[in-house]
Amino acid sequence: MKSKFLASCMAAWVLAGTGLVPLTAAFASPGEGVPALSQPADLLQAQSTNAQTEPALKRIEFLSQLSKVLGVQPLFPPKASFVDVMPASPDYGAIEALTRLGLISGISPGRLGVGEAVRRQDAALLLWRAFGDRQEPVFGDPLNDEGEISDYARQAVRYTVQKGWLPARDGRFSPRDGLTLSETERLMERLRLDRKVQALRAIAVTSKRQVGLWPDETKAVELPPGQPDQWTPEKGAPLGFTPVFGVDNPNIGRLSGDGGFTLGPQAKRGLVTVNAGLASYALEVEAYTASRPRTTSPAREEQVMGEKTPSPGFGEGPLAAAAFSVQVSQHAPDLAFQQLETKQYPGPQGGLASPDETWTGFLRQEGRDVVIDLQRMRPVTGLSLEFLQDKQAGIRMPPHMQGAVSPDGQNWYYLGEARHSLSPSDGAVQQRVLGFRFPALNTRYIKLSFPVDDWTFARRLTVEGAPSPAKPVLLSQDARVAKSARGYLQIPGVNDILLVYTGHYGKAGTWTSDDFLPMIAYRNRQGYRDRMFDTMLFLPYGETGSVKEKWGAYLDDLFTPGIQLSALNGAVAEMNRILGTAHTEKVILTLPYPDSQERNFGSLEKNSPSLSFDPAHVGREQALDNRLAALKWYYRELIERWQGAGFENLELAGIYWYAETIDVHVPDETQLVQGAARIVRADNRDFYWIPFYGANGYENWRSYGFEHVLLQPNYYADDIKPDERMDRTAALAKKYRLGMELEISDQVFDSAGHYDAFYKQLDRAHRLGADGDMTNAYYAESKTLVRVSNSSDPKIRAIYDDLYRWIRGTYRPK
């Protein structure tokens, strides 16, 4: 355990533990004061002020990649918008969808200019329109070639440089240079991460909502903001996501003409899951009976949900089973279970899509993916699958079903979840239909996924056809099939997290800008060259304890000018000056742990008694209330100080839970962690956790409210270093979608065993695919890596260089 490792080491050392109008107007829309160019040669004029060895990317290639990042589902109107992108083109659907959104309009009437180069300033304008927030202030010094940037693109260029999408080079943006393939690859990877962040925050509501319906009422479900059909390039907000509705009762409501969902009183009870991007919230629906007295006025409920006239359904009815094929695969294949389910419950001869009443049984193996091939691109608007629950027979409903679509079988886009309100302990034999309703979209492949704990029975798979869609549908790329992280956790924009201990031990726990600079920027013999750790996790030493006075002292130290957070802010400014970038550093701050044995935390208000966290002292209920009250006080103080500091180069990425296990021996520990999660997530912030190997709770971390969890292997810290520990940790990380922590201490300077153990850890984790794209945390005692980076011993200094290669995904075992 890391906490015990810290304690045992203390005695030995000190711890610190567009309109594609002219491509000069690139993706500008008509009416922005940009003259049209009639000669393609004008578009390529002075393609580069610097010699380019790599050819520029063609516009059609750039737009095709951008449409995938945005999650734009293809449109196929009968008449092409551009003579050089005809229906036979593989990019026709994407270009038509981008055109319908108003992002592109061509370089001349009816012509896109597909084979011409896309220039950096034009790409910047399109990115600003699709991803930018016009309300966000733009910082940074003027570029050295500011005068070479066209007026229509100047603000967009400044914005994209600030965001790091298209960085300046030695203070120059080179606006008329063609965008190269390598630049585009780096750009798209960054945009994928930023788009994922947008997808995770597409819905602010996370708690469950309830709504009642009288027999004469219909109500419209509240939709997330920023829907694609409400978005225009001029509004200046990032492009949103199309709502998708999961239902557990087909009679609960119907899709509306505007792409929303209208509830009706046809169903007595049901659950609607409102999805957008990668976010969702659940809505419990209950139909009141006429005999029940009204306790709330319709007007009050209209304020919650809004009144709406019911709309007819927009589907064309279920597709015939012969129109598609179905393939089922296991999440964790096991031959014995497969043989048993095939022998006992093979299902109807026609498969899951058969109208037959026979159930198909699925036994364990973690879950199933049901992939539907429509044989060609087809417009669809709904999906459903029926499930059975019979507790006495060991057959349970899956807690949810997830959906995704793909035009090509390679690029998948997430529909969302369909949940249900049936309790797993309900003993009644029941059937439920889990389904999705969404505005019509074109696709060929569909995937339905659901977990299987014991036996799961399913039948009557249906796909709802639709007329050809006229509006673009935007979905998030499916994070579950991302290949880059190889099954491990990958947090958008948070790849490498360095643990920074502060608050005690004098210089060892006091960080200056000079300490931070080599941690956020890689330094070789020629100077600073690249990014290093992109995120800093600030946490206190154990000596901070569970007393208000010490919690306050830690906050005072954390926000002291010139050190700690202030020093990091200054170091990022210096890094940007040296590298010519406009990066920000992610920061994770910590909620300290209110120990259940503490009886004298301190008072939260003047003349109020000191809080006790000990159940034996004040009772279980009061002890839990006191612990949560202390956490609320601390969190409020923390956020107020953060906001008051105004760190222009730092971004608060989330809040960390200090305790490294869920101690089941402490009364109401689960309720405490869940309460802490509610405090953090109610403020729309991510909740992080890094448990030790063998800790309780990481296997069901979602139930505690955590957003992101990384697991400590404790390989380096153990006196006996089991070689298989990294393998086991990696297997758990993949199984439960976790990141991993790596460890190093000052003992590498004096102990050959610890030096070798660090590299054995690094080498094994590399072979397991845990470097590069995976999100990792790094425990480095107090400033161990700062000392390593400054070491004159080539052997020690090599640790810093190898760790940089590890972060960049170029490390190779020696």
Does the structure show a pLDDT above 70 at 486?
no
CA distance to 180, 246, 420, 750, per residue, from 399 (Å): 46, 13, 7, 53
Give the lowest-confidence range in 8-12, 209-213, 294-298, 754-758: 8-12
What is the mean predicted confidence (pLDDT) over 704-713?
93
Give the lowest-confidence range in 290-299, 326-335, 412-421, 584-593: 290-299
Residue 48 in tokens: 């580069």
What is the mean predicted confidence (pLDDT) over 534-555?
96
> What pLDDT is attached to residue 313?
40
**Distance from C-alpha of 457 to C-alpha of 273, rounded to nearest angstrom:** 22
Q: Which class does domain 490-763+773-779 fall in?
A: alpha beta
- Single-letter code of the amino acid located at 617: H
> What pLDDT is attached to residue 65?
93
**Distance from C-alpha of 263 to C-alpha of 309, rounded to nearest angstrom:** 10
What is the mean predicted confidence (pLDDT) over 9-20?
32
> What pLDDT is attached to residue 333?
82
Query: What DSSP assignment string belongs to 205-259?
Result: --S-EEEEE-TT--EEPPPPS--GGG--GGG-S------EEEES-TTSEEE-TTS
Does the structure show a pLDDT above 50 at 452?
yes
Give the lowest-confidence range in 30-34, 152-156, 264-268: 30-34
Global confidence as pTM: 0.60
Residue 196 in tokens: 């994922």
- Highest mean pLDDT pick, 180-189, 677-686, 787-796: 787-796
Residue 299 in tokens: 């007007």
Helix (H, G, I), strand (E, B) or coil at 41: helix
Higher pLDDT, 639 or 141: 639
Can you give the length of the chain in residues? 814
- Between helix 669-681 and helix 620-645 the angle, nearest 10°, is 30
What is the mean predicted confidence (pLDDT) over 394-418?
93
> What pLDDT is attached to residue 28?
37
Residue 577 CA, distance from chain mean position: 30
Domains 209-226+235-305 and 490-763+773-779 share a fold: no
For the chain, domain boundaries: 40-200, 209-226+235-305, 317-481, 490-763+773-779
Give first-to-last CA distance, the chain, whole Å: 29
Does the structure show a pLDDT above 80 at 36?
no
> What pLDDT is attached to residue 170?
81
Confidence of residue 363 (pLDDT cuts 50, 70, 90): very high
- Predicted confidence (pLDDT) per residue in 253-271, tens digit: 888 777 888 888 777 789 9
Does the structure show a pLDDT above 60 at 536?
yes
Residue in 105, 91, 119 with CA at minimum distance from that of residue 232: 105
Question: What DSSP designation does 288 have?
Answer: P
Does the structure show a pLDDT above 90 at 143?
no
Higher pLDDT, 777 or 303: 777
* Torsion angle defined by CA atoms of residues 630, 633, 639 and 642, in that order, rounded to the nearest 10 degrees: -90
What is the mean predicted confidence (pLDDT) over 402-426?
90
Question: What DSSP designation does 471 have?
Answer: S
Q: Which residues contact 523 (CB under 8 A, 6 or more apart)?
A: 517, 529, 789
CA distance to 74, 262, 385, 551, 595, per residue, from 545 (Å): 56, 52, 52, 8, 8
> What pLDDT is attached to residue 809?
87
Residue in 55, 171, 192 with CA at minimum distance from that of residue 118: 55
CA distance to 18, 29, 302, per residue, from 101 (Å): 10, 11, 31
> What pLDDT is attached to residue 235?
76
Higher pLDDT, 722 or 512: 512
CA distance to 185, 596, 646, 683, per residue, from 678 (Å): 38, 20, 25, 8
> What pLDDT is attached to residue 301?
35
Does the structure show a pLDDT above 90 at 5?
no
**Distance from C-alpha of 571 to C-alpha of 565, rounded to nearest angstrom:** 10
Does the structure show a pLDDT above 60 at 499?
yes
> What pLDDT is attached to residue 127?
92
Mean pLDDT of the chain: 85
Provide the percentage of residues in the chain whose pLDDT is more than 90.
Answer: 54
Residue 626 in tokens: 């006191």
Does the structure show a pLDDT above 90 at 92?
yes
Residue 622 in tokens: 């009061």
- Predicted confidence (pLDDT) per residue in 560-571, tens digit: 999 999 999 999
- Between helix 59-70 and helix 120-131 the angle, nearest 10°, is 20
> What pLDDT is attached to residue 480?
60
**Distance from C-alpha of 298 to C-alpha of 714, rounded to nearest angstrom:** 58
Phi-psi region of 130 (alpha: psi -120 to 50; beta: other; left: phi over 0): alpha
Q: Within a 10 A sphere around the Cβ of 214, how many other Cβ atoms?
A: 15
Query: What DSSP assignment string belongs to 401-427?
Result: EEEEEESSSSS-EEEEEEE----TT--
Give the lowest-confidence range in 574-578, 590-594, 730-734: 730-734
Pick the CATH number of 317-481 from 3.40.50.620, 2.60.120.260, 1.10.150.120, 3.30.40.230: 2.60.120.260
What is the mean predicted confidence (pLDDT) over 567-593?
94
- Single-letter code of the amino acid located at 371: V
Query: What DSSP assignment string belongs to 97-140?
Result: HHHHHTS---SBTTB--TTSBPBHHHHHHHHHHHH--TTS---S
> What pLDDT is attached to residue 35?
28
Give me the CATH topology for the region 209-226+235-305: Immunoglobulin-like (2.60.40)
Does the structure show a pLDDT above 60 at 121?
yes
Where do we find the tokens 């470097």? 771
Pair 505, 784: CB distance under 8 Å? no
Does the structure show a pLDDT above 60 at 146?
yes
